[in-house]
Amino acid sequence: MTDYIELNNTNNNEEKINDTDILYNDKYIQITNNEIMLKKYYFPSFSSKKIEFSDIEYICSDQEYGVDILGYKVWGMGLSTIYWAYGKGRGLSRPKYNYILKKHNTTLCSGFSVENPTEFFVCI
């Protein structure tokens, strides 16, 4: 899609950031004061995607967004406008806590999971 803009593509599974800058970190995402990093975003390279908070229009849960069964994908694009970062739950399903991030001036959203939604919401 032409609306997709890659902000930062790293070759490592997880880019190193000074530990004092990290507000939240789990196996799916990392949050600092300025940005959110979606780990294992790009297929098949496993590289991460960084999105500055100033570029974000909104973040909501998958239920709030109205994702139906065909909109989910373990990794990549499902039958919707959501590109999912890697997240594998049981079998071929996604983990329990999924969120949708919409950037300003784009139609494609980024889907991701978190391990601890309570800590995640404190940081955003």
Q: Give the pLDDT score at 17.
A: 52
Q: Give the pLDDT score at 78.
A: 83
To the nearest 10°, report the CA torsion of 21, 25, 31, 37: 120
Query: Residues 124, 78: contact at Cβ < 8 Å?
Result: no
Q: Give the pLDDT score at 45.
A: 94
Tell me the three state secondary structure of residue 90. coil
Q: Which residues of the chain have pLDDT under 70?
A: 1-20, 90-92
Q: Give the pLDDT score at 36.
A: 97
Q: Give the pLDDT score at 15.
A: 52
Q: Which residues contact 83 (CB under 8 A, 6 or more apart)?
A: 4, 41, 76, 77, 108, 109, 110, 111
Q: Tokens at residue 36, please?
A: 């959110």
